[in-house]
Structure 1
Amino acid sequence: MLRKLPGDEARNLVSTTPDTAVIFRPAVVRTPAFVTIVIWLSRLIAGLVRLVWRHPIASAVALAPVAVTIAYGWRLASVLVGLVVVAGLSWALLGRASFLRLVGWRLLAWWRLVWVYRRHWQPVLIVSGLGRHLRGRDYLPHLLRVHCDGWADRVTVKMLNGQAVKDWTDRTEHLAHGFGSRTCRVTVARAGRLVLTFPRRDPLAVPLPAAPIPDVTSVGPVEIGACEDGRPLRLKVHGTHVLIAGATGAGKGSYLWGTIRGLLPAMRAGLVEIWALDPKRMELSFGRALFGDRYAADPADCADLLEAAVAVMQERADRFGGLQRNHTPTAADPFVLVLVDEVAFLTAYQSDKSLKLRITAALATLTTQGRAVGVGVMAALQDPRKEVMNIRNLFPDKIALRLDESEQVDMVLGDGARDRGALADHISPVPTLGAGVGYVRLETSPDPVRVRAAYVSDDDIRAMVGDYAPPTDSTPAESIPVQRQDSAPVAREGVSANG
């Protein structure tokens, strides 16, 4: 017969029969009902206080009718509720922005907290492996707060002791599908706390028309599109180098022409010079009149133009040495931006080895020494592999458009970028949905930001050439080719450059 032993006696048990089954039953301590009730009531009161403290507006809206009904009766409460509803609808119609900022997003955050995140928190985290169920008790990361805006929910979480950020970035797909979102992005708020971003809609689903040419003469940052949260995408070009990687038709030309468009007033004022290398002869050649004699398409001419930029850089370094550390654009020393479309053709696929060495050496020199003296490089390519572009780490700012493989995302944006939500390999290949959409990772921030560059159409480029090209005896603007290689339709009605 089997015998049940209390927990303290199990260690003293000695059995000489190997197949003897021993059933261990821990000692049971009965808690008085009074103590259990006090614990439950204290937890309930603490939860209510915490709810009111974190969500004062939502709690007041919910509790005010109850208080009025108890004090004055249901008729007066119904009248007050009706007046509040009418006033709220009027406010929402007449002052939508202020209503959403002060009331609307707070109410939505409270509702999403209760109905979506708090409701599914335990099963999603246990199944995904971010929570633990040990000895009948669940150990879960603490859900602190939910913040909502026009496009996403931001959930602040306190991690369990011993967890790492990688534990969460490895499970973003579990979290996204568990809470009904298409993606999840993980960012570090501070030690032990994370912010999970769950998009509710895609504000970049509609193409953007070209941003207006700025009225102010400036070398940047230039506005070339919109970020996912609605802020304008302003790309820094002076004092840095930018690498753009994307498959064919991903919209690299939108970033090149958007940058040129934003620098046109500074070019007219003589503060900026754009040197264009266009080995494909299809993208930058469409507006070559803007570049004057600083345009090259033949690989030999590209090598000469890059070496000329190196000479300018070295001459400035000799003059600035010991006098200044940063460059300020002037008419005498303008900011020089070297644009290279399809740089891989010059650095990897060039059959002439001497030209390849010259071009690679010039690009390496410019990207290591150029930005301090006002010489920047913006390069675009399709294949980001190291054997194709072995100097990609010399570009501080990087942009990943639609890529063919998930491994290429980290090649462009750095290790761990895809785990933090930069799903460049998931961008739609349909031009109206994915052209110009990408992820930007800046030197000053390790977290990738989803953006979309505005589409600069053929007509926009013709207008730019007609208004800003220097007067020369070259081909007039009317004889520019009818269509560029990357041309795609863009929806113009009801769309602004700010998304």
Structure 2
Amino acid sequence: MFKRLPGDEARNLVSTTPDTAVVFRPAVVTTPAILTIVILVWRILAGLVRTIWRHPIATAIPAILGAVCYVYGWPPAVSLIGIVVLGLVSWAFIDRAAFTRWVGYRLLAWWRLIWIYRRHWQPVMIVSGLGRHLRGRDYLPRLGKVTCTSWADQVTVRMLKGQAVKDWADRTDHLAQGFGAQSCRVALSQAGRLTLTFPRNDPLSDPLPALPVPEEPTVGPVEIGRCEDGRPWRLKVHGTHVLVAGATGAGKGSIIWSVIRAMLPAARAGLVELWALDPKLMELSYGRDLFGPRYAATPEECADLLDEAVCVMQKRAARFAGLQRSHTPTVDDPFVLVVVDEVAFLTAYQSDRQLRQRISAALATLTTQGRAVGVGVLAALQDPRKEVLNIRNLFPDKIALRLDESEQVDMVLGDGARDRGALADHISPVPELGAGVGYIRLDASPDPIRVRAAYVSDTDIRAMADTFTGGEDR
């Protein structure tokens, strides 16, 4: 019992027992030893099966050597190792490409999986925010298979439950720096799984010379350069419309002239007509003889030529109605490719308002109705803003060369293109390194592809004009 104190003495009392929080201790359940042993054995067996499934060759080699050593002794095992090493070295000298594809890249992938990705996986995931540390436990995305190509590492990842592709696309810079790469690209391979691409080198750093003129006429996808993975870059121009956007000196002329160069045999055979609009009087004027009367320079001439293309399109549509839904190039109905250099000068910077509206209406008509009847548009511009070209969404295939701002990448290639790895604003302004380099996003795929167009010099253009006569008036 407390003794009553006189006056205010009670407030001077200090308790010697501090307040303590109530602690609830969970009940400890003793796990039987046999259950612990069964779980441990199961994990060991599961890990062994998984290792054999993922790395069959790496596990078969020590198993075979161990069996030979156990049955015949160590001299035959050492001899077998020497024979295998000698065979691999001979294979590498005889057929280096095949050896690299079947052995070299697999060994490199195994080494980079162990030394680069698995070694740094946990800290990179936690620091970048893609992993979670909750109640003393790390919840990490699962690292899958690593595949090496001649220029990049492709890493398969299983995302955490509840994660989205955008969570990874927003952290490409973190991933690239964390694993020592210059950049990182994210692509959804299947539900819950991603493929991360980490380039090791740049196969497009050297300019490409002009490609040879095709021997056979074709209007199909034409080869105009090379993709980052080493495959030829074939651009579809028949049955679609193509928009090329890039800053000054980005290499728009390389794409335009490479397309024209690839279609010259078809033009000479009468299967293609090349129509050129050159309001700057600079790019297309070098090969003016290739276009003949289908060449326009002044805004008035450009408007007249576009109106003529609309008339051709409408006449074909009237003839094709009810008979065919797609166009097959013939001498009577050739494929018409309308090439427009610096289309923004005609649609936005033209001082004559009526002429500007006339040109915009003709381009809109061609891009909405021309594909089915064999009239395509290949347009190039520097500024991809909507107020400059309000019909840019009518071009199914778009190419982004070097751009000045990161926001312009999504303007050209669509929302999320830059997050997926289309770093068009990071392309080098040095002509030898970045001219003709760009990203293409096809209508059927959301993932951008890095490409480089071949450079067609003034000498090549004049030689083409002297050799071919594809611009005759038919």
Check whether TM > 0.5: yes
| Aligned equivalents of 2:417, 2:345: Cα separation in 1 | 26
After superposition, the Cα gap between the structure-2 partners of 1:460 and 1:78, relative to the gap in structure 1 and judged at 3 Å, is same
User: Aligned ranges for residues 300-379 of structure 1 at < 5 Å?
Assistant: 300-379=300-379
Paired with 1:101 and 1:183, the residues of 2 have a C-alpha distance of 24
Q: Paired residue for 2:468?
A: 468
Q: Which residue of 2 aligns with 1:201?
A: 201
Is 1:187–1:420's contact at 8 Å kept on the other side of the alignment? yes
> Which stretch of structure 1 is more off in the superposition, 39-48 or 398-407?
39-48
SS of residue matched to 1:373: coil
CA distance in 1: counterparts of 2:471 and 2:239, whole angstroms: 29
**Match of residue 435 from structure 1:** 435
Could you list the per-position Cα deviations for residues 234-276 of structure 1 after superposition, in whole angstroms to 9, with x for gaps in the alignment? 0000000000000000000000000001101000001100100
Report SS of the residue matched to 1:372: coil
- 1:142-199 alpha-carbon deviations (Å, 9 max, x no partner): 2221122211111111111111111111111111111121111111111111111111
Amino acid at match of 2:396: P
Maintained 8 Å contact 1:275/1:295: yes
- Is 1:158 equivalent to 2:161 in the alignment? no
Q: What's the offset of the Cα at 1:94?
A: 0.9
1:330-387: CA deviation from partner (whole Å, max 9, x where unpaired): 1111100000011111111111111111110110010000111100000000000001
Q: 1 CA distance for matches of 2:36 and 2:172?
A: 38
Counterpart residue type for residue 115 of structure 2:
W
SS at match of 1:280: coil
Pick the structure with greater CA Rg: 2
- Corresponding position of 1:144: 144
For residues 449-497 of structure 1, give each alpha carbon's deviation from its aligned partner in whole angstroms, at most 9, with x where no partner exists. 000001111221121111103699xxxxxxxxxxxxxxxxxxxxxxxxx
Unaligned runs of 5+ in 2: 1-16
> How far apart are 1:118 and its partner, in Å?
1.7
Q: Secondary structure at the residue paired with 2:244?
A: strand
What is the DSSP-based 3-state SS (H/G/I as helix, E as strand, rest coil) of the residue aligned with 2:100? helix
Aligned amino acid, residue 201 of structure 2? R
Q: Confirm or deny: 8 A CA contact 2:273 2:471 kept in the other structure.
A: no
Distance in 2 (CA, whole Å) between partners of 1:153 and 1:63 is 29
Once residues 301 and 94 of structure 1 are traced to their aligned partners in structure 2, the CA distance between those partners, rounded to angstroms, is 61
Q: Which amino acid aligns with 2:291?
A: F
8 Å CA contact 1:57–1:106 kept in 2: the answer is no
CA 1:447/1:160 → structure 2, altered by over 3 Å: closer, same or farther? same
Is residue 220–residue 263 contact of structure 1 (8 Å, CA) maintained in 2? Answer: no
Q: How does 1:72-471 map to 2 (within 5 A)?
A: 72-469=72-469
Measured in 1, the distance between the counterparts of 2:24 and 2:124 equals: 33
1:132 offset after TM fit, Å?
1.3
Which residue is equivalent to 1:480? none
Letter of the 1:274 partner, please give it.
L
In the alignment, residue 231 of structure 1 is paired with which amino acid?
A: R
Cα contact 1:125–1:131 (8 A) shared by 2:
yes
Which amino acid is the alignment partner of residue 283 of structure 1?
E
Query: Given that residues 250 and 436 in structure 1 are in contact (C-alpha distance below 8 angstroms), is that contact kept between their aligned partners in structure 2?
Result: yes
Residue of structure 1 equivalent to 2:10: none
2:277–2:341: 8 Å Cα contact kept in structure 1? yes
Listed one character per residue, the Cα deviations across residues 55-85 of structure 1 (whole Å, up to 9, x for unaligned) are 2122223444444344434333222222211
Query: 1:395-436: per-residue Cα shift (whole Å, max 9, x none)?
Result: 000000000110000000000101111010111111111110
Tell me whether 118-127 or 57-66 shows the greater mean CA deviation.
57-66
* Amino acid across the alignment from 1:204: L
CA distance, structure 1, for counterparts of residue 48 and residue 207 of structure 2? 46
- Structure 1 stretches lacking a partner, 5+ long: 1-16, 473-499
Question: Which segment drifts farther, 246-255 or 190-199?
Answer: 190-199
Q: Return the TM-score normalized by structure 1.
A: 0.88
CA–CA distance in 2 between the matches of 1:437 and 1:28?
64
Change in CA separation of 1:301 and 1:34 when aligned onto 2, cut-off 3 Å: same
Cα distance in 2 for residues equivalent to 1:265 and 1:189: 39
The equivalent of 1:47 in structure 2 is 47
CA distance, structure 2, for counterparts of residue 171 and residue 389 of structure 1: 32
Alpha-carbon contact 1:145-1:155 (below 8 Å) kept: yes
What is the number of equivalent residue pairs in this alignment?
456
Q: 1:118 to 1:40 in 2, by over 3 A?
A: farther
| 8 Å CA contact retained: 1:130, 1:140 | yes
Provide the identity percentage: 74
Which residue of structure 2 aligns with residue 485 of structure 1? none
Deviations 1:6-42 (A, max 9, x none): xxxxxxxxxxx99643445444445456654543443
1:209 deviates by 1.0
- Distance in structure 2 (CA, Å) of the matches to 1:364 and 1:471: 25
Conserved? CA contact 2:176–2:198, under 8 Å: yes
3-state secondary structure, aligned to 1:153: strand
Query: Structure 1 residues 463 and 126, CA, compared in 2 at 3 Å: closer, same or farther?
Result: same
Distance 2:217 2:425 in 1: 37
User: CA contact under 8 A between 2:267 and 2:471: conserved in structure 1?
Assistant: no
Give the direction of change, closer, same or farther, for the CA distance of 1:63–1:248 in structure 2 (3 Å limit): farther
Name the SS for the 1:211 alignment partner: coil
Q: For the structure 1 residues 63 and 204, does the alpha-carbon distance in structure 2 shift closer, same or farther, using more than 3 Å as the test?
A: farther
Secondary structure (helix, strand or coil) at the match of 1:440 reads: strand
Matched residues in 2 for 1:402 and 1:33: separation?
65
Find the aligned partners of 1:312 and 1:299 in 2 and give their Cα distance: 20
The alignment partner of 1:270 has SS state of coil
Secondary structure of the corresponding residue to residue 439 of structure 1? strand
What's the RMSD between the two structures over aligned residues? 1.9
1:361 corresponds to which letter in structure 2? Answer: A
